[in-house]
Amino acid sequence: MELVLVHPEIPHNTGCAARLSAATGLPLHLVEPLGFSLEDRHLKRAGLDYWPLVELQVHRDWERAAQHIAKGSGRPIEQRLRLFTARGGTSLFEVPFAPDDVLVFGCESVGLPRELLAGRDARRVYVPVRAGVRSLNLANVVGLAAYVALHRSGLPLPDGDGRYEPHPRAAEDVRPGERVRFGG
């Protein structure tokens, strides 16, 4: 299972997704353009000292991200996509997730690009909210979606029991930009 943020704009939300990536072991992909620099102090702070534990890839565009991610499974990428949108689809709590699904989230201001959503109605997932509320914060949706998808797919949840012992690599002073592998 993998997390993808398409054109994220707010460093804090992306930093929170990175921290979630470190906590769950799920790879995190960012699709450019980004609304911030990978050297942004808010990005680093939101990810805390967990950046050494994040498998981070940055891709120049969606096509290159999809090509790179498609190599990770025997199933076609189209069957693996879960496109999170506030504009219809299937409730997060009704989706039958698979272990190799790709959870894709759009930018904070406009969501996923129309061309990415076009013709993929069956791949759309939404988080139910009360009437009159436009949407949830991106970082909240990524966190909620990742744990629900892990659980529903049968993948093991992290085995932490609430006690904290620093990971040996967490002491490394690593900036987010130093963790990046560019996937094209």
The model's pLDDT over 20-44, given as tens digits with 9 standing for 90+, comes to 999 999 999 999 999 988 887 767 6
Query: In Å, what is the CA distance from 126 to each residue of 10, 49, 88?
Result: 21, 31, 6
Is 80 inside a domain boundary? yes
CB 158 within 8 A of CB 25: yes
Q: What is the pLDDT, as a whole number, of residue 16?
A: 92
Q: What is the pLDDT, as a whole number, of residue 135?
A: 87
Q: What is the pLDDT, as a whole number, of residue 170?
A: 64
Q: Is the dihedral of CA 6, 7, 12, 13 positive or negative?
A: negative
Query: In Å, what is the CA distance from 129 to each residue of 86, 93, 137?
Result: 9, 12, 12
Is 114 inside a domain boundary? yes
Distance of alpha carbon 11 from alpha carbon 45, whole angstroms: 9
Q: What is the pLDDT, as a whole number, of residue 130?
A: 93
Domain count, the chain: 1
Is 75 inside a domain boundary? yes
Q: What is the pLDDT, as a whole number, of residue 182?
A: 60
Query: Coil, helix or strand for 181?
Result: strand
Is 165 inside a domain boundary? no
Give the residue ranges of the chain where pLDDT is below 70.
42, 44-48, 167-184
Is 95 inside a domain boundary? yes
User: Which range marks the domain in which residue 88 is found?
Assistant: 2-157
Q: What is the pLDDT, as a whole number, of residue 87?
A: 83
Is 27 inside a domain boundary? yes
Q: What is the pLDDT, as a whole number, of residue 50?
A: 78
Query: Coil, helix or strand for 46?
Result: helix
Is 41 inside a domain boundary? yes
Burial of 54 (0-12, 13-18, 19+ CB in 10 A): buried
CATH number of the domain within which 45 lies:
3.40.1280.10
The whole-model pTM stands at 0.90
- Which residues have a Cβ under 8 Å from the Cβ of 63 and sit 6 or more positions away? none
Q: What is the tens place of the pLDDT at every residue in 160-177?
A: 878 777 766 666 665 565
Token pair, residue 114, equals 């129309």
Question: For residue 1, how many C-alpha atoms fall within 13 Å in the half-sphere facing its CB?
Answer: 23
Is 105 inside a domain boundary? yes
